[in-house]
């Protein structure tokens, strides 16, 4: 049996500039962190001749083209694996659509498992794993998504990513002191809104406008990218309060990209957070629901206010291992 796991992620600045429609013209930049919320894949040899898949539903098929789950189907086809005598089970604590990059975490975990299934001694580099996950999602499935999720899931850590016009990605860990790293981890708080949403619908709007050189959208992403650089500088200099203020600025501009980015309820929760110990925050991922992240100077006060408002806190630590596997 092969068991793989990939971490989910939180975006810390510059999100949205990792879409090809933007970075191929202007270069993208963002910072993100992997967290210890995971998507797991169990892959086992099955004596039955067909392919058995267990996710939100159970599939039993005799041909890979019959697989309904799009990521599983395309990963198998990408690696030219028939799926015969194979059982694939997926596990995760959180539902999809939370904005934490679970789809890409699943893709990297599945690809890692499939590589090992074909040859237990076969090595796939972290970079190749991220690149192959991007190929599956962006090219095979034509999803209007960016590349940060696949890279941070594969690498783990607190990282900066520069997305170059020729599709290369420059990956660098942030130069953080231990004090800053622990302070950042302690100050960030996540609250599940209870709403899940499809990132594709919101990102498609951004993608379409960027492709047509919409001036308002392009200028917004230019500004967000600069906030990404400023956030990196603030963190590496140990100025966490400045980072929290930049996060608030990021959210105010992020909302301008789509009317579906926020809602009256999300705005109400966000304002409540600012009045109760937070100095900045945003909805993680494409927006519209999922997880609300705050930078808090008074965690107890913020936790009490959010719990009273009905939001569930999602506790976390940073993950520095990325996608990993074990063979039993």
3-state secondary structure 76-145: HHHCCCCCCCEEEEEEECCCCCCCCCHHHHHHHHHHHHHHHHHCCCCCCCHHHHHHHHHHHHHHHCCCCC
Taking a C-beta distance cutoff of 8 angstroms, is the pair 325, 42 a contact?
Answer: no
Is the pLDDT at 199 greater than 60? The verdict is no
C-alpha distances in angstroms, 134 versus 43, 128, 142, 319?
21, 10, 10, 21
Is the pLDDT at 157 greater than 80? The verdict is yes
Res. 200 pLDDT band, cuts 50 70 90: low
Mean pLDDT value of segment 258-266 = 84
Q: Which of 298, 238, 19 is nearest to 146 (CA)?
A: 19
Mean pLDDT value of segment 182-199 = 86
Tokens (6 digits) for 96: 């999809």
Mean pLDDT value of segment 143-166 = 97
Q: What percent of the chain has pLDDT over 90?
A: 79
Q: How many CA atoms lie within 13 A of 320 on its CB side?
A: 4
What is the structure's pLDDT at 201? 62
Q: What is the dihedral of CA 113, 151, 101, 94, to 10 degrees?
A: 40
Q: Which of 8, 5, 3 is nearest to 318 (CA)?
A: 8
What is the structure's pLDDT at 202? 61
Mean pLDDT score of the chain: 93
Taking a C-beta distance cutoff of 8 angstroms, is the pair 149, 35 a contact?
Answer: no
Tokens (6 digits) for 307: 């719990």
Question: Considering only the top CATH level, what class is 178-314?
Answer: alpha beta
Which has more confidence, 47 or 112?
A: 112
Residue ranges covered by each domain of the chain: 2-175+319-327, 178-314
Q: Report how far residue 270's alpha carbon sits from residue 289's, in angstroms, rounded to the nearest whole number.
A: 12
Judged by average pLDDT, the poorest of 87-91, 94-98, 184-188 is 94-98
Q: Report how far residue 144's alpha carbon sits from residue 272's, in angstroms, rounded to the nearest whole number.
A: 32
Q: Report how far residue 12's alpha carbon sits from residue 5's, in angstroms, rounded to the nearest whole number.
A: 22
Q: Report how far residue 199's alpha carbon sits from residue 185's, in angstroms, rounded to the nearest whole number.
A: 26
Is the pLDDT at 248 greater than 90? The verdict is yes
Residues 6+ positions from 66 with CB-CB distance below 8 Å: none
Q: Which of 166, 128, 165, 161 is nearest to 147 (CA)?
A: 161
Is the pLDDT at 20 greater than 90? The verdict is yes
Is the pLDDT at 267 greater than 90? The verdict is yes
What is the structure's pLDDT at 219? 95
Mean pLDDT value of segment 158-183 = 98
What is the structure's pLDDT at 46? 85
Mean pLDDT value of segment 115-122 = 81
Strand partners, 3: 42, 326
What is the structure's pLDDT at 203? 66
Is the pLDDT at 131 greater than 90? The verdict is yes
Q: Report how far residue 42's alpha carbon sits from residue 2's, in angstroms, rounded to the nearest whole number.
A: 6
What is the structure's pLDDT at 287? 65
Residues, the chain, total? 328
- Of the options 3.40.50.300, 3.30.450.20, 3.30.230.10, 3.30.465.10, the CATH number for the domain spanning 2-175+319-327: 3.30.230.10
Q: Which of 88, 100, 103 is nearest to 37 (CA)?
A: 100
Res. 211 pLDDT band, cuts 50 70 90: confident
Mean pLDDT value of segment 291-297 = 97
Is the pLDDT at 261 greater than 90? The verdict is no
Mean pLDDT value of segment 32-38 = 97
Q: Report how far residue 16's alpha carbon sits from residue 30's, in angstroms, rounded to the nearest whole number.
A: 8
């Amino acid at each position: 049996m092969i068991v793989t796991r990939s971490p989910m992620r939180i975006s810390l600045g510059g999100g949205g500039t990792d879409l090809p429609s933007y970075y191929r013209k202007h270069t993208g930049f963002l910072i993100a962190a992997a967290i210890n919320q995971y998507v797991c894949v169990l892959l086992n040899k099955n004596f039955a001749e067909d392919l058995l898949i267990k996710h939100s539903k159970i599939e039993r098929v005799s041909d890979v083209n019959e697989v309904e789950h799009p990521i599983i189907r395309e990963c198998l086809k990408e690696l030219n694996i028939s799926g015969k005598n194979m059982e694939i089970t997926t596990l995760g604590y959180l539902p999809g659509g939370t904005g934490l990059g679970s789809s890409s975490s699943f893709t990297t975990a599945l690809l890692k498992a499939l590589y090992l299934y074909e040859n237990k001694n076969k090595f796939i580099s972290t970079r190749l794993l991220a690149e192959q996950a991007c190929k599956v999602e962006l090219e095979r499935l034509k999803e209007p998504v960016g590349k940060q999720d696949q890279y941070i899931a594969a690498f783990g850590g607190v990282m900066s990513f520069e997305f170059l016009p020729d599709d290369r990605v420059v990956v660098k860990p942030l130069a953080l002191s231990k004090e800053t790293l622990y302070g950042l981890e302690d100050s960030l708080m996540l609250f599940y809104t209870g709403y899940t949403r499809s990132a594709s619908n919101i990102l498609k709007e951004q993608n379409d406008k960027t492709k047509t050189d919409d001036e308002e959208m392009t200028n917004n992403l230019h500004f967000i990218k600069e906030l990404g650089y400023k956030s990196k500088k603030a963190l590496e200099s140990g100025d966490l309060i400045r980072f929290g203020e930049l996060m608030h600025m990021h959210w105010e501009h992020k909302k301008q990209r789509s009317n579906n980015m926020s809602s009256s309820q999300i705005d109400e929760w966000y304002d409540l957070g600012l009045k109760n110990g937070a100095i900045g925050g945003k909805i993680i991922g494409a927006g519209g629901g999922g997880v609300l992240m705050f930078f808090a100077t008074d965690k107890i006060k913020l936790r009490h206010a959010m719990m009273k408002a009905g939001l569930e806190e999602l506790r976390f630590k940073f993950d520095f291992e990325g996608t990993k596997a074990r063979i039993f």
